[in-house]
Amino acid sequence: MKGLDILKDAGWNASVPPNGYINRPESIKNNDNPAGLSSADAEIEIETTPEHMNLVSGDPACSEWTRAYDDPGVVALRERLREHNGIKGLELVSPDNPKRAAELFHRDGFVAIRDALDRDQLTRMRNAANKAIVQLMEDDPDCSAGGGAGGLPHRYSFGGGSASRHMLHVDEWCELIDLPTTTPAVTEIFGSADYVVGGAGGDIAMPGAIEYQGLHSDNMWSELPDPYGNVCMRDLPVPVLTINFPMIDLTFENGPIRQIPGTQRSRAPIPNLAEEPEWMKLSTVCPAPAGTAVLRDIRAWHAGTPNLSRDVRAMPNVEYYAPWFRSEGIMRCMPYEQWEKLSPHAQRISRYVVCDKGEKVIGAGFMDPRRKKREAYKQKQLDELGEKAAREYLARL
């Protein structure tokens, strides 16, 4: 199970039933999650990130399928996606037009910027992502544990799978922070260069990820304590912006992210998979070439889609917080040695995630889809620090 060769035949494990080994209760249908990081644990044990504890109902449409490339249900869905998938008239903005990028972002809640990564950087980032995926698969060769939003099998989260909760201990992820192709657009969107880095991770859809993720909004905050109920986070300018970088061309069949335009300010309830209209499942950011930057207001309704191809679809990301916004989601996860290599702008906006010189990032370098193994690894490192040093480290996270 060692080396990148594992990725050549990854996915399409027919022994993994739809929606995973977990008995997902049908009673959990609401995808809206205002509690965000404060979410209570799910009613069942599931490998997912805290803000996505609401997405545990699975995808009823494929409940009778076999996770096989030629399953009749899979074949029929693939053909339907071939004909209908993708946002009609999707505009890929040039990196030298940040004003247009900001205009589309504020209108739709997302925008795609083409040619964000050059060939060399795309190759380096792809190799780094593949190494992380291999680590995740070493303890989950059939991709049944899964993870990320909703904890579906055949899906992983780079950040959720890292014992440090982020990937800023890796050079290639740090290189994404300040790009000449994206920094002007981020600055234009926030109206200032005083935003900060909140973390980095991303998601993976393995071949054979036949389920749709439920639409959801990523909440990295507790709601505003307005006693009159007049103002909520959706009434404010964008608080958190995420940039996803697809490592392969996004196509109709390999799990392109879906975005519902204009929902970043919506107070309407988010429909569950059984209720949402068909066009929302087809509202995907494709086609888009590898190395595109997909900038997203994380409040906008979005979700993963089935990867019915034979290719691993990975999208590393970086998260940015608005100049006026802070969150408990920010934690120190970047080694000082990585920070020293950054541009002056990247150093400044990474000031809340960098550790002290000589300080170890607890959990960095250990990837596993199972929470218990990640927590055990971190606890071992904390024990090695000693009680006082471990307490101080956790207090400053």
> What CATH number has the domain bearing residue 220?
2.60.120.620
What is the pLDDT at residue 1?
41
The mean pLDDT value for 190-212 works out to 97
Sign of CA dihedral 244, 174, 106, 115: negative
Residue 124 clears pLDDT 70, i.e. is over it: yes
**Between 45 and 266, where is the model more confident?**
266
Mean pLDDT computed over 167-174: 98
User: Higher pLDDT residue, 27 or 210?
Assistant: 210
Asked whether residue 161 carries a pLDDT value surpassing 90, the answer given is yes
Q: In whole numbers, what is the pLDDT of the chain averaged over residues?
A: 91
User: Largest alpha-carbon pair distance within the chain?
Assistant: 61
Residue 130's pLDDT band (boundaries 50, 70, 90)?
Answer: very high
How many other C-beta atoms lie within 10 A of the C-beta of residue 205?
29
Q: DSSP string spanning 56-100?
A: -S--GGGTT--S-TT-HHHHHHHHHHHHH-S-TT--EE-TT-HHH
pLDDT band at 145 (very low <50, low <70, confident <90, very high): confident
Query: Six-digit token pair at 155?
Result: 């899906």
What is the mean predicted confidence (pLDDT) over 245-268?
Answer: 97
For range 143-163, the mean pLDDT = 88
So what's the pLDDT on residue 7? 81
Instruction: Show the domain range for 134.
Output: 4-395
Interval 97-120 mean pLDDT? 98
Which of the 8 DSSP states describes residue 4? G
How much of the chain exceeds pLDDT 90, in percent? 74
Q: What pLDDT is stored for residue 56 in this prediction?
A: 60
Reported as half-sphere exposure (CB side, CA atoms, 13 A), residue 40 has a value of 2
Dihedral (Cα; 334, 339, 341, 346), 10-degree rounding: 110
Share of the chain above pLDDT 70, in %: 90
Domain count for the chain, please give it: 1
52 pLDDT higher than 80: no
pLDDT band, residue 328 (cuts 50/70/90): confident
- Higher-confidence residue of 151 and 113: namely 113
Residue 366: count other Cβ atoms within 10 Å of its Cβ: 18
Q: What is the pLDDT of residue 381?
A: 95
Whether 203 shows a pLDDT value over 80: the answer reads yes
The per-residue pLDDT for range 339-357, each reduced to its tens digit, is: 999 999 999 999 999 999 9
Whether the upstream peptide bond of residue 306 has omega within 30° of 0, thus cis, is no
Say whether pLDDT at 321 is over 50: yes
